[in-house]
Amino acid sequence: MKNGVILFFMLAILACKEDKGINNSLPPIYETGNNNIAYAEGFRIEDNGNFSVLEIKNPWPKADETFKYVLISAEEAAKTTFMRDAYNGIIITPIESIVVTSTTHVPSLELLGVEETLKGFPGTDYISSEKTRARIDRGLVRELGKNEGLNTEVLLEINPNLVVAFGVDGKSKTLETIKKANIPVIYNGDWTEKSPLAKAEWIKFFGALYNKEKKADSIFNRIVNNYSEAKQIASKAATKPTVLSGAMHKDVWYLPNGSSTEAQFLEDANTNYLWHDTTGSGSLALNFEVVYEKAKSANLWLSPSYYTSLEDLKTANAHYTEFNAYKNKTIYSFTNTTGKTGGVLYYELGIARPDLVLKDIIKISHPELLPEYQPFFFKALD
């Protein structure tokens, strides 16, 4: 599992309404949307009057194909003829029933107020939102097995208007079977974007599918504002704590490279990530000695892989205890913030709400700058 915003209108009174779904505590704003894409590089939306064209460019790393889909109302589709070879699909909007395949897709549905259209999902235990979990418990969202091998029998029984997939290489026999059943499939490439705000902007992708472009644009604008305000607050910090990240897997320590979205969060939080000057498209893979030599005195240790306690770290490798961050108990992780069935909330909501992620890191790094803020994802390991 890529194991990997809200409301408004009418003076946005509804936007402030609290519920037990995805946290939607953004301030009220007005709908002033358009199809402009400011940060994301993987998709664009072209308005052609009576229909739009959704273009997906980078649904997986090194993708060499661009996908184009017509988004059109049923009324307009009845009187419009297309050269079907020019498009990968004709999709009737607004979508009334949908299957999504990554937890990162769920927040966009909830924030747009269309979560009731979700009819199926592979690995429902990974979903953390209380609102969508309640729908799962009532049998309104069907279990579809595993992403690499969707239960096509159940999916064809659901017969959704659309399946939103994510692809590692674009090769999936299951998705080809779904397409042959005349169920449109669209790849969502939010996870391949190169910045936190670019990933969050994919809410506009869902906005286009539901004819909620203005709402999606307004949601995203509020997130950008919140993120920018938090970054400005962090810039006032008097000191920059040194930061280590990641942990060992077998004999290799994996940690974010300096051009990753994780490293950008650390930079925007005004910290000194010790590998900020590295680049690349994947994680850094280093041996323990190299990491220890550089980070043994680091002030903070963030996201130590899947470990959930200091004892877990010690049991896995006694050498972890030699880091100052371990001795000072300044190790923070999002793995302990889960839904009732164990899904990690960060993998679901972190892409949609980078403003919350940034505030968490600022609170950890510069607690005096956000005295009233309570971290949403990250907690200190006990």
Q: What is the CATH number of the domain that holds 201?
A: 3.40.50.1980
The residue out of 203, 226, 249 marking a domain boundary is 226
- pLDDT confidence of residue 17: 35
What average pLDDT does range 76-97 have in this prediction? 91
Comparing CA positions, the residue from 287, 280, 267, 286 lying closest to residue 361 is: 267
Residue 276 lies in a domain: yes
What average pLDDT does range 37-58 have in this prediction? 93
What average pLDDT does range 181-203 have in this prediction? 95
Residue 369 lies in a domain: yes
Task: State yes or no: pLDDT of 29 exceeds 70.
Answer: no
The answer on 159 and 30 residing in a single domain is yes
Comparing CA positions, the residue from 281, 256, 381, 287 lying closest to residue 325 is: 381
Residue 165 lies in a domain: yes
What average pLDDT does range 192-208 have in this prediction? 96
As beta bridge partners, residue 92 has 72
The answer on 179 and 108 residing in a single domain is yes
What average pLDDT does range 162-181 have in this prediction? 86
Task: State yes or no: pLDDT of 171 exceeds 60.
Answer: yes
pLDDT: which is higher, 32 or 10: 32
Residue 88 lies in a domain: yes
What average pLDDT does range 312-339 have in this prediction? 97
What average pLDDT does range 36-49 have in this prediction? 93
The answer on 211 and 243 residing in a single domain is no
Average model confidence (pLDDT) for the chain? 89
What average pLDDT does range 75-97 have in this prediction? 91
- pLDDT confidence of residue 35: 59
The answer on 222 and 83 residing in a single domain is yes
- pLDDT confidence of residue 233: 98
What average pLDDT does range 52-81 have in this prediction? 91
The answer on 212 and 97 residing in a single domain is yes
Counted domains in the chain:
2
Residue 286 lies in a domain: yes
- pLDDT confidence of residue 26: 55
What average pLDDT does range 361-369 have in this prediction? 98
Residue 79 lies in a domain: yes
The DSSP 8-state label assigned to residue 21 in this structure reads: S
82: domain range?
10-226
pLDDT: which is higher, 85 or 318: 318
The residue out of 226, 257, 275 marking a domain boundary is 226
Residue 125 lies in a domain: yes
How close are the terminal C-alpha atoms of the chain, in Å? 27
Least confident residue range of 46-50, 268-272, 310-314: 46-50
Residue 132 lies in a domain: yes
- pLDDT confidence of residue 25: 56
The answer on 128 and 255 residing in a single domain is no
Task: State yes or no: pLDDT of 20 exceeds 90.
Answer: no
Task: State yes or no: pLDDT of 216 exceeds 70.
Answer: yes
- pLDDT confidence of residue 7: 30
- pLDDT confidence of residue 161: 97
Comparing CA positions, the residue from 186, 184, 22, 189 lying closest to residue 107 is: 22
The answer on 240 and 220 residing in a single domain is no
What ranges make up the beta strands (E) of the chain? 43-47, 52-56, 67-72, 89-92, 98-100, 118-121, 142-143, 145-146, 149-150, 162-165, 185-187, 242-245, 247-249, 252-255, 272-273, 284-286, 300-302, 331-333, 379-380
- pLDDT confidence of residue 167: 73
Helical axes 213-234 vs 261-268, angle rounded to 10°: 50
